[in-house]
Structure 1
Amino acid sequence: MLLSLHLRDFVIVDELELAFAGGFTVLTGETGAGKSILIDALSLLLGARAEAGVVRHGAEKADLSAAFDLTGRGELLQRLHEYDLEGDENSLLLRRTIDAGGRSRAFVNGQPATLAQLKEVGEYLVDIHGQHAHQSLMRSEAQRNLLDAYAGQTEQAGSVRQAFTLWKKAEEKLLSASKHAGEFAVERERLQWQIEEIATLKILPGEWQDLQNEHSRLNHAASLIEGGQSALEALADGEPNVQSLLAVVHSRLADLAGVDPALAETVELLGAVDANLSEAVHALRHYAERVELDPARLAELERRMDDIYRLARKYRIEPEQLADKLAAWQARLDELGGGEGLEGLEASARQAEQAYRRVAEQLGKARRLSAGKLGKAVSIEMQSMAMAGSRFEIALQAVETPAAFGLEQVEFQVAPHASAPVRSLAKVASGGELSRISLALQVVTSQVAEVPTLIFDEVDVGIGGRVAEIVGKLLKKLGERHQVLCITHLPQVAASADHQFQVSKQQTRDAVLSRIAQLDGAARIEEIARMLGGVDITDTTRRHAAELLGAE
């Protein structure tokens, strides 16, 4: 839930701090006062593209921040943990700065973040329904996405697109191989014997380095054995040796330390030397036992290294690169259909098509199940908005050619009254009807939305009177499940809200600034009266405003 919003030097706002509560909140004010500035600010905080024009004239940069309560948002908290962007328990602070040159910086819980991360976080927090949302309903893609979202199939739709892409890539490989069958056959044959030649050596990862190390040790075994024995003679086995001489010195000084304690530190140091020398002698004996002359193993290593080196020189690469070269050749052979050639590519293309159709059919089934539910729910809301007898339906029409979006096209259809047949939404609905249908869709789909905050930016344009009152009640009901913010010009909608903010412009000596104040009691009556009556507010208008508020 959105808790607060702070703006500094943003458009016509010098500084603004707003605290928000749950339920249904409206923002009202005269046209041009800056109501949409809040929506624009939130959009930027949620990853929208920034422009230099958002910085208030004369300021160096705009500074925006918003605080959210993440209680119950376990998935988002986990994602923040993965990005190392965690904040205080169940809290989130988003911040963004934009300088006068249009450059911006983003922060999540005080840590630098990318715009992609802001967008991803925003998808968990806020849904913004713009005032021109109804225009997008004309597009088939928007209709399809809306149905998929309502059905909870957005992720499945992504899987269908991915499966379609893999299928088409498989078909492209098959087509290319068919066009160049002769060339590919020669290349495939060459790859097969090259792979077989390297594979017969069965080179293990890191083997070349291991061979070199062991070869060096065996090749110098005589020198290593002689050096180890010589060291042991000097340190412990010869007469005299370092170990025995040190023991004599250490014993003599230990006796003298009893006479003069000043020698105690020297005695302690010699004791440590004796202990370290004993460990060194032990390690040297263990090493000497392991080093041995093994001419047969040395010869075996040299044969193995010669085989590997010969093959590496043949292909003009370093010996340690043979394993990578083998993997690259195998990958290329797979692209050409493996050992089966065209038949292998044909099989891959068939499997890719089957995988696509499997996920696409699952998506289609889910769409069909949800299309009827969504159509009935929207029809109910439409009829409550002075569209008695109207019907909203969603037609799923099979496509002639499978597509990235699936096996069916989605079309929103409407009958404006009881006696009319359903026809395409784009061909039937008038501007006012389209606005109401859009709002009905947004209300219905928002009821299943998982995001905690819903924002409606003047989506009630084109309606009024009794319908406006119904819309207000719909948004208030929606506010029981979500935090709902709405910019509105309709007094009936404003009167339904739990909370109300008034946006106004203030002329200063240097500039016009936007001001926002939370309204209660008489101030709220006065603002709704203004919305009812315009410039001249009468007692009658005020009584009407009070009645609207009292009705709630």
Structure 2
Amino acid sequence: MLRSLYIQNYALIEKLDISFGAGFSVITGETGAGKSIILGAIGLLLGQRAEVKAIRQGASKCVIEARFDISAYGMEPFFEDNELEYEEECILRREVYASGKSRAFINDTPASLVQMKELGEQLIDVHSQHQNLLLNKEGFQLNVLDILSHNDEQLSAYQSLYREWKQAQQELADLIARAEQNKADEDYIRFQLEQLEEANLSAGEQEELEQETDMLSHAEEIKAGLFRVGQLLTSDEGGLLAGLKESLNTMLGLQKVYSPATELAERLESTYIELKDVSQEVSSQEEDVEFNPDRLEEVNDRLNLIYTLQQKHRATTVEELLTLAEEYAAKLAAITSYDERIGELTTLCDTLYNKVRKQAAVLTKARTGAAREVEKQMASRLVPLGMPNVRFQVEMGIRKEPGVHGEDTVNFLFSANKNGSLQNISSVASGGEIARVMLSIKAMIAGAVKLPTIVFDEIDTGVSGEIADRMADIMQEMGEQDRQVISITHLPQIAARGCAHYKVYKQDNETETNSHIRRLADEERVEEIAHMLSGATLTEAALNNAKALLGIKR
């Protein structure tokens, strides 16, 4: 439960540090004194969006910090799951800077707003006046049934199946769309693939053909060059081989009288052998080279086919064309397998749908039981709140298709009059009746959920007199069940029932206005409640009435 609240430089609050206790407490104050400011600060601790304009004028940042006693609420799993240090006193802190930056801390460890919101929802429930509008929202009504039926595990199991089913449905829809698109392109893909396959391309082919066409185009020039080289090597008159042979013989003759000639003879012999081999190879290649216009035409036709395919498919190499052919083949294989894959996914969707429906039926059964309990409890709670002829019914139906919360539809029907027809609650209930209905629902929920702190922001709007007393009874009873209930109220009947009474007020000086809050002493409570009864002027009758409300003997 909330032990203390510290606010610095937030709106009209320069500095506020207040402690709270267990049970039922009340907060009073004139309109505009700053009660909504305090709720806004608490909202920041619950992960709500921070606005720079909320920072007190002239300050660089605002700080909101709350301390909660969580020793009795079994919240260790949250801290373990989020890798945060668990302590029996939990500290939530939010800092908002004038630069627009915002920081959140849980037990002095930086935390995300998602973490703060998740933890805050387990620590405190703030019921503001606008929440009365939720009464007509199906999501809120469904959540009431889920809370009272304690079906968290069943709902979690359902939503897991639901996500699987919707994901499979999406995959099936995507697959069908791709299949339709690819089948429309099938003829085109098949034609392109057949054209590439008919070309019978091979890696490295283009380079070899380009070299061959160069050779065939210059065959006569090449043959003449090889003939000339052969003549220079083998001619009987002035040929290199003949001269080299003669030089070798001369050196062999000199080696007996001139020792260096031996080495020179060996080198000449090696050169002679190499040149003779070159001569034979030149002669052989000369015989092989011939001008072949038919082969040249064949090679050029083949290259033109390759160039045409490259230009058509925007490729630069044969290898790219081969890769493209593989891609076309893979697409055709995928197209032929679409029907089988679509059939498999359709079967999976049907199987998951049946599981979703089966689990949804489990939720429906639990919610139906909770709905009857809600009807019973609401009647017993609303009659003492000034609705002797009240009728409250939970109307349930089935959706055409399961949704994220199941396949149930829920509608709260209400009639406060004896002969009135049951209608949607927001259509027939007055503001005061809706406030009483919401209080009764909150009381039911509080009994089912171990929520440490509940804050009611003027839930007594539209009621007075004896009904206010009855509403105070409910809040007081809630505060006695190991729970902290704080009510912001303008009604003296409710203010008198709190075990602690806090007053919010403003003070002006020459330059600024400050909002404050403090706990009232017993004598101060008498005066505050008397003011709530009679206005600014205190009368003896108002003071006596205040003492009577507080149970103080005169």
Give the TM-score normalised by structure 2. 0.69
The match for 2:316 is none
Task: Note closer, same or farther for the CA distance 1:370–1:338 as it changes in structure 2 (3 Å cut).
Answer: farther
Task: Tell me the CA shift for residue 396 of structure 1.
Answer: 0.4
Distance 2:182 2:496 in 1: 74
Amino acid at match of 2:515: S
1:130–1:459 CA contact under 8 A, matched in 2? yes
Task: Tell me the CA shift for residue 393 of structure 1.
Answer: 1.3
Q: Per the alignment, in what secondary structure is the counterpart of residue 370 of structure 1?
A: helix
Task: Note closer, same or farther for the CA distance 1:507–1:369 as it changes in structure 2 (3 Å cut).
Answer: same
Task: Tell me the CA shift for residue 528 of structure 1.
Answer: 0.6
Deviations 1:116-164 (A, max 9, x none): 1111211221111112221121222222222222322356445434433
The match for 2:448 is 448
The match for 1:79 is 78
The match for 2:503 is 502
Deviations 1:403-430 (A, max 9, x none): 3332221000112123333222122212
Question: What are the residue-to-residue correspondences of 1:29-428 with 2, within 5 Å?
Answer: 29-74=29-74, 76-86=75-85, 89-154=87-152, 156-178=154-176, 181=179, 340-428=340-428
Task: Tell me the CA shift for residue 339 of structure 1.
Answer: 9.7
Task: Note closer, same or farther for the CA distance 1:545–1:353 as it changes in structure 2 (3 Å cut).
Answer: same
Task: Tell me the CA shift for residue 184 of structure 1.
Answer: 7.0
1:53–1:102 CA contact under 8 A, matched in 2? no
Amino acid at match of 1:85: L
Distance 2:449 2:126 in 1: 12
Distance 1:77 1:154 in 2: 18
Distance 1:383 1:534 in 2: 32
Task: Tell me the CA shift for residue 432 of structure 1.
Answer: 2.3
Q: How many residues are treated as equivalent by the alignment?
A: 412
The match for 2:189 is none
- Identity across aligned pairs (percent)? 34
Distance 2:166 2:94 in 1: 41
Task: Tell me the CA shift for residue 50 of structure 1.
Answer: 0.6
Moved more, 160-169 or 60-69: 160-169
Distance 1:551 1:156 in 2: 52
Distance 1:350 1:538 in 2: 76
Amino acid at match of 2:344: G
Distance 2:156 2:461 in 1: 33
Moved more, 477-486 or 159-168: 159-168
Q: Per the alignment, in what secondary structure is the counterpart of residue 27 of structure 1?
A: strand
Higher Cα radius of gyration:
2
1:527 and 2:532 correspond: no
1:77–1:86 CA contact under 8 A, matched in 2? no
The match for 2:460 is 460
Amino acid at match of 2:169: E
2:41–2:64 CA contact under 8 A, matched in 1? yes
Question: Is there any run of 5+ residues in structure 2 with no aligned partner, and where?
Answer: 186-321, 324-329
Q: Per the alignment, in what secondary structure is the counterpart of residue 137 of structure 1?
A: helix
Task: Note closer, same or farther for the CA distance 1:336–1:30 as it changes in structure 2 (3 Å cut).
Answer: farther
Distance 1:101 1:501 in 2: 34
Deviations 1:466-493 (A, max 9, x none): 0001111110000011111110001101
Distance 1:84 1:175 in 2: 39
Q: Per the alignment, in what secondary structure is the counterpart of residue 395 of structure 2?
A: strand
Q: What is the RMSD of the two structures over their aligned residues, measured on CA atoms? A: 2.9
The match for 1:197 is none
Task: Tell me the CA shift for residue 98 of structure 1.
Answer: 0.8
2:179–2:338 CA contact under 8 A, matched in 1? no
Moved more, 176-185 or 448-457: 176-185
Distance 1:35 1:380 in 2: 32
Task: Tell me the CA shift for residue 17 of structure 1.
Answer: 0.8
Task: Note closer, same or farther for the CA distance 1:337–1:551 as it changes in structure 2 (3 Å cut).
Answer: farther
Task: Tell me the CA shift for residue 541 of structure 1.
Answer: 0.3
1:70–1:77 CA contact under 8 A, matched in 2? no
2:436–2:471 CA contact under 8 A, matched in 1? no
Amino acid at match of 1:470: R
The match for 1:211 is none
Q: Per the alignment, in what secondary structure is the counterpart of residue 496 of structure 1?
A: coil
Deviations 1:165-195 (A, max 9, x none): 43233234334444554777999xxxxxxxx
Distance 2:400 2:184 in 1: 38
Deviations 1:244-298 (A, max 9, x none): xxxxxxxxxxxxxxxxxxxxxxxxxxxxxxxxxxxxxxxxxxxxxxxxxxxxxxx
Deviations 1:455-512 (A, max 9, x none): 1111111111100011111100000111111100011011111110011111112111
Task: Tell me the CA shift for residue 6 of structure 1.
Answer: 0.8
The match for 2:258 is none
Amino acid at match of 2:48: A
Amino acid at match of 1:440: S
Question: Is there any run of 5+ residues in structure 1 with no aligned partner, and where?
Answer: 188-314, 317-328
Amino acid at match of 1:405: H
1:493 and 2:494 correspond: yes
Task: Tell me the CA shift for residue 520 of structure 1.
Answer: 2.1
1:397–1:408 CA contact under 8 A, matched in 2? yes
1:470 and 2:470 correspond: yes
Moved more, 345-354 or 420-429: 420-429
Q: Per the alignment, in what secondary structure is the counterpart of residue 341 of structure 1?
A: helix
Q: Per the alignment, in what secondary structure is the counterpart of residue 510 of structure 1?
A: coil
Distance 1:71 1:337 in 2: 60
